[in-house]
């Protein structure tokens, strides 16, 4: 029986062995070629071992269905004969696919310093130009790849044609049992983790050198992942209508209230920002609060769950009319680290064209001599954060595996008390180095299933694991952090922003439920005076504001306003993306764009956040449309970057 089982699965084991060998040899060759970029000996081990993990996952995705069908079809007859021929062709095709993609990889890396990605497909839309370029500049590469491919197809067919795909001694029950076990193993292999999300590039990323992270992948996986992301890139123009590019850009610049600050050149939104603080450069810490809508904050008229944050609201510069750009954490991260406008597509954190060379304040501050850091209590590969951050200016990722101490670890990682303890320790160490630092700290305790250490707070709800209780716990941890921070050596040199990424569950009773975008935001620390700010403010205004407050004069592609500048007076506005609906909010009006429908308007009351239907003027529609289209235009053309 044992021999029969081995004989039955042998063809698939052969395929796995051959492809794994090809990919490992290719990856090793690429690593040797780029050896000067592999600084540490551990780089080699990481690339090889994690690379094999990616390879197994790639193969498992491709063969899980053929394995199931193979063991469930009749053992004999015309169907079996046809299936055997199909399997032979499939095996050769899989070997050819992986091998061909590795053959073309060196040329692609030489040109783009990346493995084949979406560009590999996008250039096929211009065959005349591309093939002309290849023929002119890469004749040797073309002939080499063509020759290697022909030889490989010939060899692969000879190998595969010798394989015995039959299993005459197995009963139907035996075949079903093998199929079940194999499919379970392949499913586990395809996911390659028992965590919340299956394997993705962020999970194996480890360096701020993007190419080293790419070497860990294989080129077939890299291309497939890019194609998957391309499917998520919704076109705002198809949803909301088109606008002349020049008109769009001029409308956005005019709405900013500082059109004289924009710089002519190839980056259309590039503008100069003069810092309002002119002293020694300060540290910057952003404490991003998970799912903390204003309705849970007592100091903003919500539930009495946040006594510590309420106290901070009275001590710092509080934004009473601050609005998130979306309803997901990655949208909040997008806003506070890049200042990018929301779009119908997924947040840029997860989109392929933004994985390197995309503007973030970390990238800008790194150029200014800052140490740039992300501190998170969970696994940083979640939502592709790690890959995005390492590719765009963050040099130091401190997540759960790197925490020096934990007292409570739930489904989403270390509790917020452990997170803040680690952050405080990091800041103390960094402050001793005499180098300014920027740190983004992202909480997670206020996330379903709302796990937190018991006995720390007096519960608001009778049942322990509820959102309200988790918010109280997270607030307790925040208060403890600031008690320590105020006594620290770094306090007088640091500006802090406490801000939520988004609200919790959002209702859809209106096209843009403004109440569910209302979030807390307060700036504290060195040189910050206590005041209440009632201006309409967007979370995408925060990066520009914080750079100004820490003394970093810069030019960047951000259109967010510096709220500390006099130029921002009287220019209140916020932008919100709710599903496929885009909202543009001003002091008294909300303009909503919906897919393939006319724009609709609402009178907005700042006091109770209520909405009343109203007509939309042409100017209001054009302003909203320009901002709704801007993000896709900048992203698609890779125009959101540093000069």
Convert the pLDDT of each residue in 326-346 to its tens digit. Answer: 999 999 999 999 999 999 998
Note whether residue 532 is domain-resident: yes
* Domain tally, the chain: 2
Decide: 380 and 254 in contact? Cβ < 8 Å: no
Please state, as a whole number, how many other Cβ atoms lie within 10 Å of the Cβ of residue 542: 26
Indicate whether 122 pLDDT > 70. no
Average pLDDT of the chain, as a whole number: 92
Looking at the chain, the whole-number percentage of residues with pLDDT higher than 90 is 70
pLDDT at 220 over 60: yes
Which residue of the set 57, 58, 219, 329 is catalytic? 329
Alpha-carbon Rg for the chain, nearest whole angstrom, is 27
226 shares its domain with 290: no
- The helix/strand/coil state of 450 is coil
| pLDDT at residue 383 is higher than 90 | no
Please indicate if the annotation marks 70 as binding a ligand. no
Nearest alpha-carbon partner for 581 in 561, 602, 560: 602
Specify whether 17 is located in the same domain as 146: yes
| pLDDT tens digits for range 393-434 | 999 999 999 999 999 999 889 999 999 999 999 999 999 998
Whether residue 237 lies inside any domain: the answer is: no
CATH code: domain of residue 480? 3.40.720.10
Would you say residue 570 has pLDDT above 70? no
State whether 43 and 151 are in the same domain.
yes
State pTM to two decimals: 0.81
- Is residue 427 a part of any domain in this protein? yes
pLDDT of residue 233 exceeding 80, the answer is no
What pLDDT is attached to residue 118?
A: 77
**Quick check: helix, strand or coil at residue 211?**
helix
Regarding whether 543 and 479 lie in a shared domain, the answer is yes
418, part of any domain: yes
3-state SS of the chain: helix, strand, coil percent to 5?
50, 15, 35
Q: Is 181 or 138 the better-scoring residue by pLDDT?
A: 181
Same domain, 325 and 192: no
- Read off φ and ψ for residue 278, nearest 5 degrees: -115, 10
> What DSSP letter does each residue of 122-152 carry, written as one string?
HGGG-HHHHHHHHHHH-HHHHHHHHHHHHHH
Kindly state whether residues 188 and 321 are assigned to the same domain: no
Q: Would you state the pLDDT for residue 86?
A: 94
**Mean per-residue pLDDT for 288-305?**
98
pLDDT tier at 136 (50, 70, 90 boundaries)? low
Contact 375, 288 (CB under 8 A): no
For residue 439, give the H/E element and its range. Answer: strand 437-442
pLDDT of residue 338: 99
Q: Which of 542, 564, 586 is the last residue of a domain?
A: 564
Indicate if 55 and 156 belong to the same structural domain: yes
In a domain, 507, yes or no: yes
- The reply to whether 502 sits in an annotated binding site is yes
State the pLDDT at residue 123: 65
Residues contacting 561, CB < 8 A, separation 6+: 256, 257, 541, 544, 545, 567, 568, 571
488 catalytic, yes or no?
A: no
Do 197 and 117 reside in the same domain of the chain? yes
406: which 2 tokens? 């934990």
Q: Look at residues 514, 533, 564 and tell me which one is the last residue of a structural domain.
A: 564
Per the CB < 8 A criterion, the answer to whether 458 and 423 are in contact is no
Q: Is 480 annotated as a binding residue?
A: no
Q: Flag whether pLDDT at 98 surpasses 70.
A: yes
Instruction: Indicate the SS3 state at residue 309.
Output: helix
Check whether residue 371 and residue 517 sit in a common domain.
yes
Considering the domain architecture, whether residues 317 and 216 belong to the same structural domain is answered as: no
543 vs 124, more confident: 543
Q: What is the C-alpha to C-alpha distance for residues 344 and 581, in angstroms, rounded to an integer?
A: 7
Tell whether 252 is covered by a domain.
no
Q: What is the pLDDT of residues 33-58, one digit of tens each?
A: 999 988 887 889 999 999 999 999 99
pLDDT at residue number 227: 85
For 233-275, give the DSSP string.
---HHHHH----HHHHHHHHHHHHT-GGGB--SSSTT-EEE--
Does 631 map to a domain?
no
- Is 159 in the same domain as 302? no
Tokens of 48: 């090889």
Q: By three-state DSSP, how is residue 224 classified? A: helix
Burial (0-12, 13-18, 19+ Cβ within 10 Å), 434: exposed
28: CB partners within 8 A, 6+ apart:
48
Please check whether residues 441 and 544 belong to one and the same domain: yes
524: containing domain: 283-564
Q: Mark which of 212, 230, 248 sits at the end of a domain.
A: 230
Q: What pLDDT is stored for residue 127 in this prediction?
A: 66
Cβ distance 253 to 408 under 8 Å? no
Tell whether 520 is covered by a domain: yes
501 is an annotated ligand-binding site residue: yes
């Amino acid at each position: 029986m044992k021999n029969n089982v081995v004989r039955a699965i042998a063809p698939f084991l052969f395929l796995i062995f051959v492809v794994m060998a090809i990919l490992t040899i290719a990856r090793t060759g690429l690593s040797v070629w780029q050896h000067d970029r592999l600084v540490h000996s551990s780089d080699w081990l990481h690339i090889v071992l994690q690379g094999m993990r990616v390879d197994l996952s790639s193969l498992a995705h491709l063969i899980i269905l053929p394995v199931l069908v193979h063991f469930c079809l009749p053992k004999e007859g015309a169907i079996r004969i046809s299936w055997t021929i199909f399997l032979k062709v499939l095996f050769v095709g899989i070997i050819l696919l992986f091998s061909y993609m590795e053959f073309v990889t060196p040329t692609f890396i030489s040109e783009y310093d990346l493995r084949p990605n979406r560009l590999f497909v996008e250039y096929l839309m211009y065959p005349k130009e591309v093939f002309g370029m290849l023929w002119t500049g890469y004749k040797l590469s073309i002939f080499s790849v063509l020759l290697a491919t022909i030889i490989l197809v010939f060899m692969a067919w000879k190998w595969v044609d010798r394989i015995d795909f039959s299993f005459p001694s197995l009963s139907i029950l035996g075949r079903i049992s093998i199929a079940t076990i194999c499919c379970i193993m392949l499913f586990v292999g395809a996911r390659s983790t028992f965590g919340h999300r299956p394997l993705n590039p962020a999970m194996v990323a480890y360096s701020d050198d993007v190419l080293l992270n790419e070497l860990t992948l294989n080129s077939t996986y890299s291309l497939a992942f890019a194609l998957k992301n391309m499917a998520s890139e919704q076109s705002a123009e198809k949803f909301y209508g088109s606008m002349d590019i020049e008109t769009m850009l001029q409308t956005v610049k005019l709405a900013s209230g500082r059109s004289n600050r924009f710089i002519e050149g190839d980056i259309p939104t590039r503008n100069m920002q003069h810092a309002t603080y002119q002293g020694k450069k300060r540290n910057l810490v952003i404490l991003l609060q998970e799912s903390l809508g204003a309705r849970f904050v007592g100091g903003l008229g919500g539930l009495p769950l946040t006594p510590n944050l309420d106290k901070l609201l009275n001590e710092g510069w509080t934004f009473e009319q601050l609005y998130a750009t979306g309803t997901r954490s990655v949208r909040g991260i997008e806003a506070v680290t890049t200042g990018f406008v929301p779009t119908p597509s997924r947040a840029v954190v997860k989109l392929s064209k933004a994985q390197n060379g995309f503007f973030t304040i970390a990238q800008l501050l790194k150029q200014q001599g800052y140490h740039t850091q992300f501190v998170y209590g969970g696994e940083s590969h979640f939502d592709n954060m790690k890959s995005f951050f390492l590719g765009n200016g963050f040099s130091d990722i401190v997540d759960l595996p790197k925490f020096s101490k934990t007292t409570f670890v739930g489904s989403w990682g270390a509790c917020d008390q452990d997170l803040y303890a680690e952050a405080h320790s990091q800041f103390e160490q960094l402050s001793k180095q005499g180098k300014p630092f920027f740190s983004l700290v992202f909480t997670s305790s206020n996330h379903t299933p709302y796990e937190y250490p018991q006995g720390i707070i007096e519960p608001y709800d009778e049942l322990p694991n509820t959102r309200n209780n988790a918010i109280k716990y997270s607030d307790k941890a925040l208060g403890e952090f600031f008690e320590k921070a105020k006594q620290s050596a770094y306090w007088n040199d640091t500006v802090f922003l406490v801000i939520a990424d988004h609200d919790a569950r959002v209702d859809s009773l209106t096209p843009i439920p403004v109440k569910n975008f209302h979030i807390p935001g307060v700036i504290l620390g060195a040189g910050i005076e206590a005041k209440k700010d009632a201006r309409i403010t967007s979370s995408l205004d925060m990066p520009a504001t914080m750079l100004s407050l820490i003394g970093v004069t810069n030019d960047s592609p951000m259109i967010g306003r510096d709220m500390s500048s006099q130029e921002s007076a009287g220019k209140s506005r916020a932008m919100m993306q709710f599903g496929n609906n885009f909202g543009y909010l001003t002091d008294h009006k909300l303009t909503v764009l919906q897919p393939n429908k006319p724009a609709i308007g609402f009178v907005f009351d700042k006091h109770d956040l209520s909405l009343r239907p109203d007509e939309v003027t042409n100017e209001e529609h054009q302003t909203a449309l320009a901002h709704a289209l801007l993000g896709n235009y900048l992203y698609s053309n890779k125009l959101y970057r540093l000069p």
